[in-house]
C-alpha cells in the first residue's frame, strides 16, 4: 500500500472505498477508522461487497465490522457512485 492509498483511506472515513488485498480479493467498504501507528496498523470497516463472499458468511449482518491489516492492502480508491 502506498502513502497515497493510506491518505485515501484517511480522507474517506465514513465514506465508501474500493480495496484490493494481497490475496486478490476486492472489497467495497465503508471506512470506519484507520489506525496507522507502529503496533498493528489496520483499517476498520463495514463490508458492503466482496469478490469472495464465501469468506464472509456474516456479511448480511451490517452490525459486524471487519478489521484488515494495512500490510494486506494492495490498493485503495474512492468508490464512485456509492
The pLDDT assigned to 69 comes to 95
Alpha helices in 1-82 (DSSP H): 3-11
The pLDDT assigned to 60 comes to 57
Tell me the C-alpha distance between 80 and 63, whole Å.
Answer: 24
- pTM of the predicted model, to two decimals? 0.84
Instruction: Give the architecture (CATH level 2) of 3-78.
Output: Roll (2.30)
Segments making up each domain of the chain, as ranges = 3-78
The pLDDT assigned to 39 comes to 85
Mean pLDDT by 10 residues, the chain (82 residues): 95 96 93 90 88 68 80 94 61
Amino acid at each position: 500500500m502506498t502513502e497515497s492509498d493510506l491518505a485515501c483511506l484517511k480522507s474517506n472515513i465514513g465514506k465508501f472505498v474500493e480495496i484490493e488485498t494481497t490475496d486478490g480479493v476486492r472489497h467495497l467498504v465503508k471506512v470506519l477508522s484507520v489506525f496507522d501507528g507502529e503496533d498493528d496498523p489496520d483499517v476498520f470497516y463495514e463490508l458492503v461487497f466482496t469478490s469472495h463472499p464465501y469468506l464472509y458468511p456474516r456479511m448480511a449482518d451490517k452490525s459486524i465490522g471487519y478489521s484488515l491489516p494495512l500490510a494486506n492492502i494492495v490498493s485503495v480508491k474512492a468508490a464512485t457512485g456509492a
